[in-house]
Chains A and B, each alone.
Chain A
Amino acid sequence: MKDMPRPVFLAAGGYTVSLGPGRREFNPRAARPGLDHYIKAAGQAVLAQISDPGLIDEGVIGNFMAARFNRQGHLGSLMTIVHPALEYKPALRVEGACASGGLALATGIKSVLSGLADVVLVMGVEVQNTVKSLYCADYLAGAGYYPGERKDGPAYFFPGVFSQRAGAYAAKVGPALARDAMAHWYRNAVENARLNPEAQEHHNTVPDLLAQGLTPPNPKNFTEHLNLFDCSKVSDGAAAILVASEEGFRRLGLGRRDVVEVVGMGQMAANLTAPPPDLTEMTTCKRAAAQARAMAGIGPQDPGVFEVHDCFTISGLLSVEALGLAEPGGGAERVLDGATARTGRFPMNTGGGLVGYGHPTGASGVRMAVDLWRQLTGRAGAYQVPLAREHGLMVSMGGNDKTVVSLVLRR
C-alpha cells in the first residue's frame, strides 16, 4: 500500500451498550431490540455530535452474519433509518467476518481518499443473542473455511480453533505461564470494562478475577485449552464513527482537537483454505500492523494506546507479539509484568476490549476506532488513560487471522 494521498480523519464516534450475558438488563427469555434499534442508536450517537446530518455523503456498514442471526440482508439500505438525510446517497454493507467493522473503516477511508466523499458514516453492527450459543457457534463458523473445516471441527468451532492456538502456545512457553497470562489478560479486560458503562462486563463484581481466569478448561463440555472466561461474549451492539477529509470535519463544525488523523493503514487477506503457518503467531495481524506503522512512519513501541482483537485471551497474548511489543513467546511475560494493563507502558483495550466490552462481531472494528478516538481526544471518561505518546494503533481481525485491518491514528 502507498502513503495516504490526502489527510483523512475520524470524528464523532459512539457506540451502544454491548448487550448479552453479564449485563443486568439482559434477560435471555424476554424480547430484545433488533438490528434497527442498534443501527439507529449508534448512528444517532454520531449525529448528536455534528451540525448537519445532510453533510454526510455516504454510509458504510460492517456486519458479519445478520443473514443468519436475524434473517436480514441488505443492511446498506437498512442503515438509512439513522436519518432521512442518508436516503438517496451511496450506502453499502461490507463483510469480512469479525473484521467487518475494520473493513467498513477501510472502505470509508478509501471513499474519502478517492475524493468522491468528504464525510462517510461508518458503522458496524451485530445482534447475536437471537440463538443459543451452540447455534451461534454454527453461524460464526462461517468465518472459517466451511467445506474444509466445519464438519470435523469442534461443536464450539472458534473456541476450538483458538484452543489449538492456546495449546500450541502452552507447549512453547509452558502451560502454567500461558494459563497465568491468559488469566491476567482476563482480569485486565474486566477491570477496564468496570470503568466503561457500555461494557458487557461493566456489572461484573467478582472479587477474585484471577482465580476465575485460572479455572482449568473442561475438554468434555467445551475446549481443551480455553475456559469460558477466556472467551469474548455473545453480544448485541453497534458502533459508529465518521471518516472525514479536513474540509469535511470543518464543515461539520468540528475542530482539529475533536478529531484524530488516520496516518497509517494496513489491510490484507490471507488464504482462507490454508491452515495458519504457525499456530503461535498471528502472521496476518503482524504484517498488517507493520504495514500500517510503515505508512505512519512509526516503530512498534511508539503508539501510546492500543486496541487489539482479543476474541479470546490467547489472541490478546499473540497480539502483543504480532505488534512487535515482545519476542515470539514473550507475550505472556509482557502481560504478566503489567505492560498491557491500563497503567502499563502499552495500555491495551482500555474500555474492556472484546473480552470485557463484548464482541458484537461486525461492530468490533468500529468500536475499536471509537475507543482509540476517545482516548486520543480525551473523551474516554472513567476509562481514560494518561497518554504518553500521540499515536494509537488498532488491529481488527477476521476469522483465524485471515482478514485484517490495522490503523494508526494520531491525535
Chain B
Amino acid sequence: MDLDTRLQNVAVVGAAGKMGSGIALLLALEQGYRALERPDQTFILNLIDMNDSGLQALVRYLRDQAAKDGERQINRLRSLFKDRADLVDNQDMVQEFVFEVLLRVRTGRTLDLARESLLVFEAAFETEEVKHAIYKDLAQRCRPEAFFLSNTSSIPLQALAEACAIQGRLIGYHFYNPPAVQKLVEVIQPRDCDPELARLAFELAGLLRKRTVPASDVAGFIGNGHFIRDGLYAIRQVERLSREHGFVPALYMVDRVSRDFLLRPMGIFQLLDYVGIDVFQLITGVMTRYLGEDLRSSLLERYLALGVKGGQGPGGVARPGFLDYRKGRPAAVFDPETKAYLDLDAPWARAAADLLGPLPEPALTWKGLQKDPEAGAKLAAWFRAIQGMDTLGAAMARDHLRASRETGLNLVRQGVAAGPEDVNEVLKLGFFHLYGPINDYAQGERP
C-alpha cells in the first residue's frame, strides 16, 4: 500500500500534547492541500487524547495555523481554487482552506478512532508503561496493515514492538520541538522493521519538508544520547563549582557559559526547563535501564520532590524550573535550600558574571550568527580567542566543549550514529546549535 493511500486515514495518539499538536498540524496541512488537489479522495485525521480541553485547544491551534499557512501559500491556493467562482478574494480562499483542513479532523478520547487508520503516529507521555498500554490496545483495534510511528525520544523500539506484538510495524519517528518548525526527524528502524515502513517513513519526511537522520535503536538515540549527558555534565559542574561559589551562583554561571560563551540558543538549564525536568528525568530512567550506565541524578529528584519541574504552560509560556522567566527570558534562579527564586538583577548575579570574566571581542550572539554567511569563520575566531583567555568563563567553556565532543564521539563509537556528521546534524537541526559538538574548537595546544 503506497503512502498516498495511507495518508487518507491517519491518526495521532497523544495529539493534544506539545509534540502531538505539532505532528497533527503537519498532517492536517498535508491532508488539506491533498484534499484540494485530489477532490475524488477522502481524507480523515483522527486526533486522540485523554485531555478534552487540550483537544479543543488543538482545534483552535489548527485553525490559526492553517490560516497562517494558507496566507504564506496564497499563490498555491489561488491556483488550486482557480475554478471556484465563489472564491475571489485572498480572504475567501484562506478561509475555505481552513475549513478544508478542519473538515477532516475527528477528535476524541478513544483509541477506537484509529481503527481504520493506516498510519498511526504516537506522541504520548514518555514512559514505557503508557506506550505499552497504547500499543497493546492499538494492536487489537487497528487493521493488520496499519503502521505505527512513535515519537519516542528514548525508548528502544524493538523491545516496545515485541512487548506489544507489533513487530515489523513500528518505527521510531522522532520530531523535534516544535515539530511544525524544526526541520529534523530522527528515524529509528528497529531490527525487525518492515522495509516498506522504512521507505514510507523517509518518503513522508520529504513530503513534510523534514530532514531525516537515521539513528540506531539504542535508548536515547542521537538527540537525547547527547542532550541527557550534556545536561548531567552541567549538573556535575554545578556541584563542583558550588563548593567554592555556592549553589545558586554556580548554576547561573554554568547556564551562562553554555549560552553566552558556547553561543547556544539557550543556556543548558534553560533548555532543561524547556524540555521539562520531569521529562528529562523519565528519559534518564529509560536510558539507565537499557544502557547499564547510571544516568540518574539526585539533584533532579530533589527538584521534582519540591514540585519544581519546568516545562511550558498554555501558549508555550515557560514554567519555573531551574530558572524563572519574565517575557521568556531567564529572570531568577531557584535555590533549593530556601525554595525561593533569586532575582538575576542583583549583586550576587553581577558578582558571578564578574567571576566568569569578559566574552571575547568582537561580541557575538547566537541570534546574530544565525543567518550570517560568515558564521563559520567568526565561530572559529571566537573559540580561538577563548582558547587564549585565562578566565574562569573561558576555562569552563573549554571544558564544556570537550565534554560535549566526547559525548558525540561516544555516540559514533557505540554505533548509535553512523558518523560524526549525523551527530552534528542532529544538534544543529534539532537543537538549533550553530555548530556540531564534534569539532576542533577546544582541541590542540592553547596559544
A319 CA to B136 CA, complexed, in Å: 74
- Which residue in chain B gives the minimum CB-CB distance to A155? B74
Asked if B88 contacts A132 (CB within 8 A), the reply is no
Asked if B370 is an interface residue, CB under 8 A from chain A, the answer is no
Is residue B350 contacting chain A, with contact meaning CB distance below 8 A?
A: no
Residues of A within 8 A of B91 (CB): 135, 138
- Given A138-B90, A151-B85, A155-B90: A132 and B71 within 8 A (CB)? yes
Q: Is residue A2 contacting chain B, with contact meaning CB distance below 8 A?
A: no
With an 8 A cutoff between CB atoms, is B78 at the interface?
Answer: yes
Interface membership of A31, Cβ < 8 A: no
* Residues of chain A lying within 8 A (CB to CB) of residue B74: 134, 155
Point out the residues of chain A lying under 8 angstroms from B89, CB to CB: 135, 138, 141, 150
A152-B82, A220-B75 known; A135 vs B90 contact (CB < 8 Å) = yes
* Complex: A221 Cα to B76 Cα, angstroms: 11
Question: Does A150 lie within 8 Å of B88, measured CB to CB?
Answer: yes
Contacts of B75 in A (CB 8 A): 155, 220-221
C-beta contact mask, B72-102 vs A, less than 8 Å → 1, else 0? 0011001000100100111100100000000
- B residues near A135, Cβ cutoff 8 Å: 89-91
Who on chain B is nearest to A136 by CB?
Answer: B90
Bitwise interface map of A from 246 to 265 toward B, beta carbon under 8 Å scored 1, else 0:
00000000000000000000
Counting CB contacts under 8 A, is A380 at the interface? Answer: no
By a CB distance below 8 angstroms, the chain B residues around A214 are none
A134-158 residues at the B interface, CB under 8 angstroms: 134-135, 137-138, 141, 146, 150-152, 154-155
CA distance A361 to B74 in the complex (A): 24
Known: A134-B71, A134-B74, A220-B75. A151 touches B88 (CB 8 A): yes
State the CA gap A146–B92 with chains docked (Å): 14
In the bound assembly, the distance between CA atoms of A112 and B91 in angstroms comes to 42
CA distance A338 to B64 in the complex (A): 48
| Count of A-B contacts judged by CB separation below 8 Å | 27
Distance (whole angstroms) from the CB of B350 to the closest CB of chain A: 31
* B contact residues, total (Cβ < 8 Å): 11
Kindly list chain B residues whose C-beta atoms are within 8 Å of the C-beta of A155: 74-75, 78, 90
Considering only residues 39-85 of chain B, those with a C-beta below 8 Å from chain A are 71, 74-75, 78, 82, 85
Of all chain B residues, the one with the shortest Cβ separation from A152 is B82
In the bound complex, do residue A134 and residue B85 qualify as a contact, i.e. CB atoms below 8 Å apart?
A: no
* Chain A residue nearest in CB terms to B93: A155
- Shortest C-beta distance, A226 to chain B (Å), equals 15
For the complex, give the distance between the alpha carbons of A15 and B252 in Å: 53
CB-based nearest A residue for B67: A132
Compute how far the CA of A161 lies from the CA of B71 in the bound complex, rounded to whole angstroms. Answer: 20
- Complex Cα distance A135/B74, Å? 11
Say how far B268's CB is from chain A's closest CB, in angstroms: 31
Chain A residues near B90: list those with CB within 8 A.
134-135, 137-138, 155
Among A150-208, those with CB < 8 Å from B are: 150-152, 154-155
In the bound complex, CA of A137 to CA of B90 (Å) = 8
Residues of A near B71 (CB, < 8 A) are 132, 134
Residues of chain A contacted by B85 (CB below 8 angstroms) = 151
Compute how far the CA of A135 lies from the CA of B71 in the bound complex, rounded to whole angstroms: 9
B88 CB contacts on chain A under 8 angstroms: 146, 150-151
Q: How far is the CA of A221 from the CA of B74 in the complex (A)?
A: 9
B159 to chain A minimum Cβ distance, whole angstroms, is 47
In the complex, A228 Cα to B82 Cα: how many Å? 26
Shortest beta-carbon distance, B70 to chain A, in Å?
Answer: 9
Q: Which residue of A lies closest to B74 (CB)?
A: A155
Considering the chains assembled together, what is the distance between the CA atoms of A150 and B82 in angstroms? 11
A146 to chain B: closest residue by CB: B88
**Nearest CB on A from B67, distance (A):** 10
Nearest Cβ distance between residue B79 and chain A, in whole angstroms? 10
Residues of B within 8 A of A221 (CB): 75
Instruction: Give Cα distance in the complex from A185 to B89, angstroms.
Output: 31
Query: Within 8 Å CB of B82, what residues of A?
Result: 151-152
Closest to A219 in B: B75
Interchain nearest-CB distance for A30 vs B (Å): 15
In the complex, what distance in Å separates the CA atom of A62 from the CA atom of B339?
A: 64
Q: How far is the CA of A146 from the CA of B85 in the complex (A)?
A: 13
Q: How far is the CA of A160 from the CA of B165 in the complex (A)?
A: 58
In the assembled complex, 21 residue pairs joining A and B whose CB atoms fall closer than 8 Å, in A order, are: A132-B71, A134-B71, A134-B74, A134-B90, A134-B94, A135-B90, A135-B91, A137-B90, A138-B89, A138-B90, A138-B91, A150-B89, A151-B82, A151-B85, A151-B88, A152-B82, A155-B74, A155-B75, A155-B78, A155-B90, A220-B75
Q: A150-B89, A151-B88, A221-B75 are in contact. List 20 more A-B contacts (CB 8 A).
A: A134-B71, A134-B74, A134-B90, A134-B94, A135-B89, A135-B91, A137-B90, A138-B89, A138-B90, A138-B91, A141-B89, A146-B88, A150-B88, A151-B82, A151-B85, A152-B82, A154-B78, A155-B78, A155-B90, A220-B75
Closest 9 CB pairs of A and B: A138-B89, A155-B74, A138-B90, A134-B90, A151-B88, A135-B91, A150-B88, A134-B71, A138-B91
